[in-house]
Every structure is written in C-alpha cells, then in structure tokens.
Amino acid sequence: VPVIGVLALQGDVREHVAALAGAGADARAVRRPGELDAVDGLVVPGGESTTISKLVDIFEMREPIDKRIAAGMPVYGSCAGMIMLATEVLDGRPDQRGFAGIEMTVRRNAFGRQVDSFEAPVTVAGVDGEPFHAVFIRAPWVERVGPGVEVLGRVTDGPAADRIVAVRQGNLLATSFHPELTGDLRLHRLFVDVVRAAA
Ligand code: GLN
C-alpha cells in the first residue's frame, strides 16, 4: 500500500487524507521533514497559497520538498496546491514561492470575484465515466503550459469554457478544482496509481 502524505500546514488537509484513504492509500498528515521522508507521494491541499508558502519556510519544508520533487516523488496539488506547483504565478503576492515543479503559468483567483465559488463539469483525460462535478473556490486557471505538460482537463461550459483546469507533468498532477470535497475519488485513485507506478 503506497504511503501518501498531505502537506498539513494550512488548507483542507482532512478532506484529502479521507479521499486518499478511500482510494486505497496509507494516508497521513505531513508537517516535518522527517515525516516527508516516510511517504512515497505528497498532496498539497487547497487553502491559501500565500499562507502555505510562508509556512513551508517556517516549518523548513522547502528544501526537503524541492529535493524530493527533483528525485521524482509524485505530487498532486489542488487549487492552492496547483499554484504551489507552478513555475510562474500571475496575480500572486511578490513574496510567495512555490515548488516550481510544473512548467506552467497559473493565474491566481482567476475566475473573478463575482464567481468566488462555482461548479462546472470537467472531463479529465485518463479518468473514465461521467465528467467531474468540479468545485472551484477562488480558483486559479492555467494560462500557459510548457512542452512537457499534458493538459488533462478544461472547463467545458459557461463563461470560463476552455480554460485549462487539470494538468500533468511526469509524476506531478494539478487541478484547479477540489475533488476532495465532492466524494468523487477518481482523481485520488489516479494519483494513487501514479504513486504506485513510481515506487
Ligand atoms: N485563492 C487561493 C490561493 O490563491 C486558492 C483557493 C483554494 O485553494 N481554494 O491560494
């Protein structure tokens, strides 16, 4: 059984731990470098990317996580976690810093203030069945991807139609939306498979 950590500095940690456990992982909160050593993969949860960025430094997790990502550890980031995985952030705070794992430009809070929170159907490549009922909460979207990045999903409907909201680069996955909030375990299952394959 793959051991998967959820970076537990801020954000919806419990929801990801539950979703990972439901998807067949040994899931646990990770807050310290020693705890990171014990996991095969990591989830960076939704929350507030500027806060997560600060706490990553305070908890001295930046170098350990950067090193594990460089060594191929699978990571899945949702929403703020997507922002933490991007090489470039638009509308970010000047002092916020991520792990720069996925070659992409994301725009923070992209969907606009009028629609702080909304739902839309999103089909994710490699995931069978119905489209996800994707929940977006002050979510980023992806404005540019590098050549090594696979676009897995776009919004299919409404004013944000065609916006990229799910991507993968190697062992790194990111979504703008929060599958951990809807009881739909397919994305966590996909991530557990990525972790298994990498182990
Ligand atoms: N707006 C948040 C940020 O910039 C992300 C929102 C979320 O994770 N639900 O980090």
Confidence tier at 114 by pLDDT (50, 70, 90): low
Nearest to 96, CA basis, from 147, 62, 135: 62
Check residue 115 and give its pLDDT.
63
User: pLDDT at residue 113 above 70?
Assistant: no
- Give distance in angstroms: CA of 137 to centre of ligand 1: 7
Confidence tier at 112 by pLDDT (50, 70, 90): confident
Confidence tier at 1 by pLDDT (50, 70, 90): very high
Q: Dig out the tokens for 123 from the structure.
A: 């089909």
Nearest to 69, CA basis, from 54, 81, 51: 81
For 118, list phi and psi in degrees, rounded to 5. -160, 170
User: pLDDT at residue 36 above 90?
Assistant: yes
Which domains does the chain show, CATH number per domain?
3-198 (3.40.50.880)
H/E element, 29: strand 26-30
- Give distance in angstroms: CA of 1 to centre of ligand 1: 30
Pocket residue to mutate for ligand 1, from 12, 138, 165, most atoms within 8 A of Cβ: 138
Mean pLDDT for the stretch of residues 138-150: 97
What's the pLDDT tens digit per position in 69-92? 999 999 999 999 999 999 999 999
pTM: 0.97
CB-based pocket (< 6 A), ligand 1: 46-49, 79-80, 83, 108-109, 137-139
Mean pLDDT for the stretch of residues 89-100: 96
